[in-house]
Amino acid sequence: MFDFAPNGHAASYPELDDELDVQHMSDSKNVPMHSRAFDLTDSEKVALISDRFAEIMEILGLDLTDDSLRGTPKRVAKMYVQEIFRGLNPANKPEATVFENKYRYRRLVIERNIPLQSTCEHHFQPILGVAHVAYIPTDKVVGLSKLNRIVEYYARRPQVQERLTVQIADELKRTLHTDDVAVYIDASHLCVQARGVEHHGASTITAEYSGRFLNEETKREFLLAVHSKMPN
């Protein structure tokens, strides 16, 4: 939950600030959210965030009467609620309809190079990369675009990459009613590239394997497909 000091400003916990850089892993499979997360409508959230962001800009010394900056607080607020953090709202969860596997396909189904855009929850900097997901059908299959939508839904929230990888895998298992699932993410974090060490070109790889993907041969088949070049 958010705590507020007597003057109405958010309370500060300086002892936690530096720990985030060394304790990168979250101990929860879910994005930490307080119990009042859905008390406000999206419109109410946009209005409140716009006011707060205007305060931040004022503190930074920016002139909000300038034509270029006047609309920035509302633009940022709408971006947060309607775009980059829309995955926080369960109402935006994609419907993943499954179909009968009439053709009795029993090999790997791989959707690779899914564009991934998320946000680091420690510094609110972008995470940009690709996700590769796979499953082995049983008696059900899913439309391929739904795999992309599942990745998109869980990415569009404040995240750590490790949690994101597990969330996508868990959702695939729930949707497809199988443990035979693999998720592989390769992403660049601007909190590493644009601040701190400023190491451009660094990327982070995370993977989650379950069911038959724990078998080394099946895992190898998946990884070979992920890293193979597209034909010209």
Q: Which candidate in 152, 167, 189, 208 is catalytic?
A: 189
Calpha distance 159→143 (Å, rounded): 26
* CA 177 to each of CA 74, 85, 110, 120: distance values in angstroms, whole numbers, following the listed order: 42, 28, 17, 30
Q: Select which of 82, 117, 122, 125 is catalytic.
A: 122
In this structure, how many other beta carbons lie within 10 angstroms of the beta carbon of residue 156? 20
Q: Is 69 helix (H, G, I), strand (E, B) or coil?
A: coil
Q: Annotated catalytic, 121? A: yes
Provide the terminal-to-terminal Cα distance of the chain, rounded to the nearest Å.
52
Active site residue 189: yes
Pick the catalytic residue from 123, 125, 162, 221: 123
100 is known as an active-site residue: no
- 123 is known as an active-site residue: yes
Active-site hit among 120, 167, 193, 208: 120
Write down the catalytic residue from 159, 161, 167, 193: 161
Half-sphere exposure of 102 (CA within 13 A, CB side): 1
The catalytic position among 111, 132, 167, 191 is 191
As a whole number of angstroms, the distance between CA 90 and CA 70 comes to 32
Of the residues 111, 121, 152, 208, only one is catalytic, namely: 121
Residues taking part in catalysis: 120-123, 161, 189, 191
